[in-house]
Amino acid sequence: MATEARPEASQAEPKNAYQQLLDYGRERGYKLDWLAPRETWGTELDSDASGGGLLLQDVDHGPFSQVPEWSDNLTGRPRGSLSRPTAPKVGNYSVRTKSDIWLKNAGQLYEEAVQRQWSSATDVPWEALEELPDDIERAECQLATFLTEVEFVAGDVPGKWISQTTPDYYEPRMFLISQIMDEARHLDVFRKRAFANGGGLMMQVNNAAAGGARIDSARDFTEMSARLHISGEGSVLSIFRMGERMSYNDAEKSIYRLAASDESRHVAFGVMHLQYLSQTDPERRDEIHTYLDEIELGLVAAQDGQNPAARGTASNVALAILLGGGSHETSLHEGQQLLLAVRQRQVKEYIQRVKVAGFGDRFENGRAHEALAAYIAA
């Protein structure tokens, strides 16, 4: 019998390495099924397909790129990995519907954020600061105080939504993490500017707290993003883009240029999210228009807590002094005229963002606030 069995054994196909390990583990009470190669095993990646190194969009393919419209993943399982039935829940994610947070280019925006990190300690030429007239320095410090307030809100509010989002939508989560890092950097650079030239922090702008509260009271991510990214950060971005006009040295120019680069990503995130939502979930369009109604009411009333060009605030006076070149009557009048131009730019850029997001019909059917008509026609 043994002699007859030898030919049969010699004719049997040899077991592959995985099967040998599987048998070895089972004989000793180990479960080694996880060693089975996935269907994508051996797929080669072009590590520099875009010329920018190995990016997120380069590695996500096959099952790893399939984003569910709705997720039941409460275990922290990375998207595309195989589920384990015995895995415990680690999160009670409220954001589990794709349209509630998704946008088409979140991965690219995240990669850009990583590549464009900068340091306020070494990338700002602080040695370029020179002594300024007292009224100019006080205005710089007041504006820096306000922007420190604003950036605290801009970093604090998105953080709440990171832990609420399923890992299946990891790209928006990672971008929001990068945004918080950006805002932390803005916090530190404006605080440093307030002190760096012998001044210090000035008066809190009270309505900034009110603006932050309205953003923080948002009932879902899209409402928060419309208020923060489309309106609040959009208004601040307009100010940063005016940095060259109101800077008195290369250090300040550098601060505004670097901060504007970051802020433009945050605004782009909000615009692209609204655009995705308008295309994939049209039933929510009226809801989004309601958020925009509220935003525009604050915008035309100049009471937006995220807007340093709001009338009657310390930051408004500070901007007028910086734009006009001083606090004496002639300079202040010129600065106030320039500030009106800043407000016009803020409104025009808001209108353009809303149009790109897919809600431009509000400017054609009379839904937009009537006070915006002058800016639309200008």
What is the number of other CB atoms lying within 10 angstroms of the CB of residue 294?
14
- The predicted pLDDT at position 14 comes to 61
Residue 221 has pLDDT above 90, yes or no: yes
303 within some domain: yes
Quick check: is 7 in a domain?
A: no
Q: The domain that contains 293 carries what CATH number?
A: 1.20.1260.10
Dihedral sign of CA atoms 363, 368, 374, 378 in order: negative
pLDDT higher at 332 or 305:
332
Does some domain include residue 67? Answer: no
Q: Is the confidence at residue 291, as pLDDT, over 60?
A: yes
Q: Which amino acid is at 12?
A: A
Question: Does the residue 56 lie in any domain?
Answer: no
**Closest C-alpha among 305, 276, 125, 301 to residue 204:** 305
Q: What is the pLDDT of residue 272?
A: 98
**Which residue segment(s) compose the domain that 191 sits in?**
129-377
What's the one-letter identity of residue 18?
Answer: Y
Q: Looking at the domain assignment, is residue 74 inside a domain?
A: no
214-240 residues labelled b (16+ CB within 10 A) or e (exposed) = bbeebebbbbbbbbbbbbbbbbbbbbb
C-alpha 237/C-alpha 256 separation (Å) is 9
Cα Rg of the chain (Å, integer) = 27
Residue 156 lies in a domain: yes
Which pLDDT score, from 0 to 100, does residue 7 have? 44
Q: Residues near 10 by Cβ (< 8 Å), separated by ≥ 6? A: none
Q: Above 90 in pLDDT, residue 344? A: no
Q: How confident is the model at residue 5 (pLDDT cuts 50, 70, 90)?
A: very low
Token readout for 328 is: 């004496």
pLDDT for 139: 97
pLDDT over 90 for what percent of the chain?
65
Give the pLDDT of residue 302. 57
Per cent of the chain over pLDDT 70 is 88
* Residue 41 pLDDT > 90: no
What is the 3-class SS of the chain, one letter each residue?
Answer: CHHHHHHHHHHCCCCCHHHHHHHHHHHCCCCCHHHCCCCCCCCCCCCCCCCCCCCHHHHCCHHHHCCCCECCCCCCCCCCCCCCCCCCCCCCCCECEHHHCCCCCHHHHHHHHHHCCCCCCCCCCHHHCCCCCHHHHHHHHHHHHHHHHHHHHHHHHHHHHHCCECHHHHHHHHHHHHHHHHHHHHHHHHHHHHHHCCCCCCCCCHHHHHHHHHHHCCCCHHHHHHHHHHHHHHHHHHHHHCHHHHCCCHHHHHHHHHHHHHHHHHHHHHHHHHHHHHHHCHHHHHHHHHHHHHHHHHHHHCCCCCCCCCCCCHHHHHHHHHHHCCCCHHHHHHHHHHHHHHHHHHHHHHHHHHHHCCCHHHHCCCCCCHHHHHHHHC
Residue 150 lies in a domain: yes
Q: Above 70 in pLDDT, residue 377?
A: no
If one counts every other C-beta atom within 10 angstroms of the C-beta of residue 141, the result is: 23
Whether pLDDT at 158 is above 50: yes
pLDDT in the model for residue 360: 94
Q: Is the pLDDT of residue 250 over 90?
A: yes
124 belongs to a structural domain: no
- Domains in the chain: how many in total? 1
Confidence of residue 3 (pLDDT cuts 50, 70, 90): very low
pLDDT one-digit tens code per residue, 180-195: 999 999 999 999 999 9
Give the pLDDT band of residue 1 (cuts 50, 70, 90). very low
